[in-house]
Structure 1
């Protein structure tokens, strides 16, 4: 396994473990009348027969992963549908298309973004002095680099924000010309992708969660504007897997992760890690 891909999976695993703990008490909800399925190679007619038996129709396929999003008859019992697929020995897994949601809520207090005590705690909120990440000490060593690329899987990013726009990644293999220049299956993905609306505008117009996350990671520092991210200089890929309402699906998240993995394995883009501040649903074999 390539080191960069291994690193992406390590970061994702840590994020998923954390989100699972946070959301353990929440109900496991999913998209009605949808299931995610993967069959073993050569399933062929067996897979088709199982799908037909529960009224399942393919909607979308992630070819590289062999995962198929399928619709089932409205009102069908999801447990029965999944049991039918799992009874086929050629089925790797079958599961609902779980709903995922942003974690935490960004407050609208005007001083919230001003006193970033987590970076440099001086006791400004009666906290313990120096109980922080020692950001100033780290900045003495480095303030980041344009060679560090981070995928932000969230509600999108306000990529035109004055404190973020210089730190937004630009796809070196793509131009805005109505064509898929780099052959990755996404047309004009010059700054990432919106997997919710399936277009090339992964903006964050109303929710703000992804923009807040991006600011924590990489708001431009020492520019006299707004706040400073942990990395003053970095390149962030907006990957919108959560809607403006703050929710998405397992499939949206899978597609975002697959996009990053393809960049690393096939496009020569050295993405170092992804940020995944979301959770919910149940355990997902597909994810």
Structure 2
């Protein structure tokens, strides 16, 4: 099977390409100089030329709470342009199968947890990442509409929980929580700092899955594509408090200082736990424990990121 994978240099894309089953498929992984996803003509021409059997859309502008607050225009427009261009170009060129990677950020901020796929557009979004969420909602609905209009097009959306892992970004301004905390606690240990700051009271709860597990699900989805629902949450079905993540990361790194809380800082939603009912019915489960995943991610940070 010939597959176009967008976002192959990102964390999700890299984990897909390093999966044990990658060699069973032909992956096309254009660079930005070869294919600018924000330009319709380029996307249309690329798909027309290469005639893939499947598109996996994993590209996107991503970042943590600081980046989303600072750059809502880019998070909305860039993600919207990339998503609609690749989806509509696939439709125009008769690509019958597409997997769209979305985000649990698109669920309403006050929705009851665990978050079900049916909750999309059922309430106000979290203001700190609203632009990103709106873009993901539009591409998810676009896939639904295309399939609804013509059942021969099966364009399905995978909604992962928060992710972390190898090939992640570790810049505090652009990264998600776990890599940012790994960097912060590592530097605190190296510099013999007595304390590390946590934004908020640390009681907000998040569900983080190791990105290698998501890559494993993507191959499961390819092999079981007909059984895949229109939209499907992919996560662990359990969450931890921010304080618990800091504690586990400190244990892995060997940091013995204390934590202090800055309750003036934004924390986003108090809980974001996705419902795994459809995933469990499909028969797939994540394999990596939190401590195992953080250990692997920390090794990547020490051996790759710090030596780059």
| TM-score interval (norm. to shorter) | under 0.3
Normalised TM-score (structure 2): 0.23
The structure in which a higher percent of residues are helix is 2
Normalised TM-score (structure 1): 0.25
In our comparison, the structure showing a higher alpha carbon Rg is 1
